[in-house]
Structure 1
Amino acid sequence: MAVDIPDDLIETYRKAERVVVLTGAGVSAESGVPTFREAQSGLWAQYDPRELATPQAFVRNPRLVWEWYAWRRELIQRARPNLAHYALVDLEQATPHFLLITQNIDGFHWLAGSRDMLELHGNIARTKCFDEGHRVDGWPQSDEIPPRCPRCRSLLRPDVVWFGEGIPEHALRAAFEATRQCQVFMAIGTSAVVQPAAQLPLLAKRAGARIIEINPEQTAISLLADWSLRGSAAQVLPALVRALGFPTTAIDGARQSETAQGRDT
């Protein structure tokens, strides 16, 4: 599919010194990761995910919640970053001041090579304890599910933000500060209905930033956007990088890896 990138968008981005990008579930969905609100399958079809992703659910049945997140980790481990993730790496390398803010918890931005980034909702691959919030990289082998924190003996949980919990203050403060200072704000694969991330496009607009939306569908952000590029992030973002004349090192590396894997199968 050919992607039309407007000339005035290209000119605006090239002049920008500070760019902030917000990504949502639409970017991960292109890697084959089910979005949070999609129907569960198999054993988990009987559960509403919004009733499992809460501190109250963990207190009631910690084993159930732990095993649900273990299942979700398995789904994520079967997938891999897509071209949208790699295109954002190339944009970061070519932009003087670039911050990626993601609502996704799969860690694919890290795997692709993004580094100046805020994971607002945490990362499913990380673990912390329920009582004290200690980050835990490993724990003694045990039959107990969930295992316990080696430091305080509290039950372990995924290091993600549950319903009813606040985003870490330092991450939120950094996201708001960068958004106020940016000249270009990009919203990719997100409808921005979940607070407080939903405030960011409006904050950017009020501060005078130009807004670029990349999404197959119209969203609330479309009303604010200076440009709405309709299409999947994996199609639009590589086209944008090329239209800007930026190096496509990460994109080309991903394509070469896909080709090599195709030869090996």
Structure 2
Amino acid sequence: MLAELSPALIAHVQKAAKLLAAQQRICVLTGAGISAESGIPTFRDKQTGLWENYRAEDLATPNAFARDPELVWSWYQWRRQLVADKTPNPAHVALAQWQQSASNHQQLTLITQNVDDLHEQAGSTVTHLHGNLWRNRCSQCQAPYEDQAQGMSDSNIRFDESLLTCPHCDGYIRPDIVWFGESLPAQAWQTAEDAAAHCDVFISIGTSSLVYPAAGLAQLAKQNGAKIIEINPDPTPNTIVDITLAEKAGVVMPLLMKHMAELS
């Protein structure tokens, strides 16, 4: 694999490793790109099969669920089936190993825009900004629907398209996902803001850094003196980035960890 990488990229990885090895507080934001490397379609990808005539943006809204809850629920059950057999890739694994092995002088806070649980499967502790595909809650009283809070590792997981109702208020059960027009969960966002504002290095992985409010985290970090590293095969035109690693995260992250280990 190393033979396929350009000398310039390897030099940038070494530069990033040197920077990271010397810093204490690291904040990592992951987006759809890291999950796409595990075979999970991105939210912007064209729908397939029975859903090819629908746009994701038209289904993932409170109004869509109020208008046709069965349609939206069926779509999410379909999405869960697409994700159920997917497993962490080398980038997920490298991040988990880094977080678990971080010494006393280093703290790694992992934030994700993704709704899958591949970070958890790899062994990471992660804050979800956009909710979790494997959790449900009531659309009326917001109570968690505990019986359905299952991860993909659960052998009893069901993909029944029949609507479920809340045992507390009889409201329809919905995925615990942040839909268009909804606010990010307050506690998760506070964790992300605090980590970005106080980090020494902010790493953006597999995300365009153009969709707000998450895109504002890198700017917040920069304003508070942090260095910015972007890992993305298609880097975004962003003047605040200090080191760009233009390659897949599954390639870059293990190499980055290797060079950091050599410096410790």
Judged with a 3 Å threshold, the aligned counterparts in structure 2 of structure 1 residues 153 and 5 are, in CA distance, closer, same or farther, namely farther
List per-residue Cα deviations over 1:125-177 (Å, max 9, x = no partner). 001010111111217x9x99311012221100000000000001111111111
> 2:128 matched to 1:112?
no
Distance 1:75 1:133 in 2: 26
Q: CA–CA distance in 1 between the matches of 2:25 and 2:166?
A: 40
Match of 1:209 among 206, 215, 226: 226
Q: How many residues align?
A: 242
Given the alignment, which residue of 145, 153, 163 partners 1:136? 145
Aligned to 1:200: 217
Q: Deviations for 1:21-72, whole angstroms, at most 9, x for unmatched residues?
A: 0000000000001000101111000101100000000000000000000000
Distance, in Å, in 2 between the alignment partners of 1:68 and 1:5 is 44
1:236 is matched by which residue type in structure 2? V
Match of 2:256 in 1: 240
Shift of 1:218: 2.0
TM-score (norm 2): 0.88
Question: C-alpha deviations, 1:69-127, integer Å up to 9, x for none?
Answer: 00000000021111110010112123321111100001111111101x21000000001
Structure 1 position 194, deviation (Å) = 1.6
SS in 2 for 1:22: strand
- Structure-1 residue corresponding to 2:198: 181
Q: Distance in 1 between matches of 2:187 and 2:11?
A: 35
SS of match in other structure, 1:118: strand
Contact 1:205 1:211 in 2 (8 A): yes
Q: 1:100 maps to what in 2?
A: 110
- Of 204, 212, 226, which aligns to 2:242? 226
In structure 2, distance between residues paired with 1:97 and 1:154: 41
Q: Which structure 1 residue ranges, 5 or more long, are not aligned?
A: 247-265
**Residues 23 and 102 of structure 1 are in contact (CA less than 8 Å); yes or no, is this contact kept in structure 2?**
yes
Q: Which residue of 2 aligns with 1:251?
A: none
When structure 1 is superposed on structure 2, of 90-99 and 74-83 the one drifting more is: 90-99
Within 2, Cα distance between the matches of 1:67 and 1:144? 5
1:59 corresponds to: 66
Amino acid aligned to 1:156: I
* Partner residue of 2:185 out of 130, 154, 168: 168
Q: Confirm or deny: 8 A CA contact 2:32 2:113 kept in the other structure.
A: yes
**SS at structure 2 position matched to 1:240:** helix
CA–CA separation in structure 1 for the residues paired with 2:59 and 2:235: 30
Structure 2 counterpart of 1:41, which letter? T
Are 2:100 and 2:124, in contact at CA under 8 Å, matched by a contact in 1? no
**Normalising by structure 1, what TM-score?**
0.87
Amino acid at match of 1:201: A
Task: Say which SS state the counterpart of residue 165 (structure 1) adopts.
Answer: coil
- Read off the aligned partner of 2:249 and give its amino acid letter: A
TM-align CA RMSD:
1.7
Q: Distance in 2 between matches of 1:161 and 1:171?
A: 12
Q: Distance in 2 between matches of 1:175 and 1:144?
A: 34
2:51 corresponding residue in structure 1: 44
4+ runs of 1 displaced by more than 3 Å?
5-8
Identity of aligned residues (%): 45
